[in-house]
Amino acid sequence: MEDDITRLARQDINVLQPYQSARTIGGQGHIFLNANESPLLNCISVNNLILNRYPECQPEQLITNYSAYSGINKKNILVCRGADEGIELLMRVFCTPGQDIVITCPPTYTMYAKLAEIYGIENIKIPMIQNKKLNFSKIVKHIKRTKLIYLCRPNNPTGYVINVLDIVKVLEITKSKAIVVIDEAYIEFCIEKNLVNLLHQYNHLVILRTLSKAFGLAGIRCGFILAGLKIIDLLKKIIAPYPLSTPSIYIASRSLDEQNIFTMKERVYQLNQNRNFLVHHLKKNSIVKYIFSSEANYILVKFINSSKIFNMLWKQGIILRNQDHEIQLSGCIRISIGTQEECINLITALKRISLH
């Protein structure tokens, strides 16, 4: 009997025989002449890592460490080339272009819509009500052709954390109908709000994670997909044979050591302090109209005459992210939380602009 997840996946992916790499075929030999690798080392070396051989597709040590960190079983974890690749792999498994649709709820991370566009998958945008509430009636209306719903929590760029009861409601109305993807790229900044426990109850829930934000490792391109076994198995069919480089795997594994997790948490604490400090000072500035309350390492600020402010700061070498053109965000700028010194410089620059 076909289960729900199999039915939701693209039929051609269900029957796909995945590519068999030399690594997946394996073997216990001592002479490996099966992957057209070089038997000779390049003279470039990093920490004595073995770089002439292809890496593991799903590195055992890295998954073990992420399992310990997240509290999720190893079999429910897939390592990928950043959370962005996770967003993309899900579209490729579940959506047939020209037939299936994905739902996004702007204002939100725009890569969901962009990747759908690149793959020729229709994206129905169902804006959040007052940037906080999901529009359930609209979601229900489109659920029939929907394969994926992307929700970002905390949301980028607003910083808002969708109420857990609303998430449960989405999971209930999508049961057997669509996959719900919760993007937890920033969850370390409010870790107590993570939703991994819901994975036990809902086999159509997927959680995306990354080492790019709180872990401070955007440069190594490492993300994780957390989901039920059925979804993980489907994703494994289509993921590249060697998605992560050997140096990335090594650094990612180490970043999940007990000591490094401790220092990550200290950095998160510091950045949250910096955020509160920045908000406190911006509130006193008359050119600030509104500050969205954020639980992540950025804040969204509505300014009086935002494009002028954005350009003036730009010329001074302070580069922010303009959100003026995004749905429901006219006059808004997203500010990443920097060091305390960077926050002070920004506060001072904005004060000077306000006195103009």
Would you count residue 240 as binding ligand PLP (CB under 6 A)?
no
Work out which of 210, 246, 248, 274 binds ligand PLP, going by CB under 6 A: 210
303 near 292, Cβ under 8 Å? Answer: no
- Range in contact with ligand PLP (rule: CB under 6 A) among 53-61, 210-218, 262-270, 334-342: 210-218
Q: Compute the distance between CA of residue 281 and CA of residue 288 in angstroms, rounded to an integer.
A: 10
For 202, phi then psi, to 5°, come to: -125, 115
Work out which of 152, 170, 207, 226 binds ligand PLP, going by CB under 6 A: 152
CB 104 → ligand PLP: shortest distance, Å? 11
CB 350 → ligand PLP: shortest distance, Å? 24
Work out which of 56, 88, 183, 188 binds ligand PLP, going by CB under 6 A: 183
Work out which of 76, 212, 246, 248 binds ligand PLP, going by CB under 6 A: 212
Angle between helices 246-255 and 60-70 (to 10 degrees): 30
Q: Compute the distance between CA of residue 139 and CA of residue 225 in angstroms, rounded to an integer.
A: 24
CA angle 105, 87, 266 (to 5 degrees): 90
Closest residue by Cα to residue 231 from 5, 3, 50: 5
Q: Output 111 or 288, the one with its CB closest to ligand PLP.
A: 111
| Cross-strand pairs, 301 | 291, 333
Would you count residue 185 as binding ligand PLP (CB under 6 A)?
yes
- Calculate the alpha carbon distances from 323 to 110, 112, 154, 157 in Å: 11, 16, 17, 8
CB 218 → ligand PLP: shortest distance, Å? 5
Closest residue by Cα to residue 288 from 340, 342, 350, 229: 350
Work out which of 55, 59, 107, 223 binds ligand PLP, going by CB under 6 A: 223
- Range in contact with ligand PLP (rule: CB under 6 A) among 1-9, 76-84, 250-258, 328-336: 76-84
Q: Between residue 77 and residue 136, which ones bind ligand PLP under the rule CB under 6 A?
A: 82-84, 109
Would you count residue 188 as binding ligand PLP (CB under 6 A)?
no
Residue nearest to ligand PLP as judged by C-beta position: 82
Task: Count how many residues are written for the chain.
Answer: 356
Q: Output 212 or 255, the one with its CB closest to ligand PLP.
A: 212
3-state secondary structure of 334: strand
| Cross-strand pairs, 332 | 302
Work out which of 123, 156, 294, 306 binds ligand PLP, going by CB under 6 A: 156
What sections of 148-257 are H helices per DSSP?
A: 164-174, 229-238, 246-255
Q: Which residue ranges make up the site for ligand PLP (CB under 6 A)? A: 82-84, 109, 152, 156, 183, 185, 210, 212, 218, 223
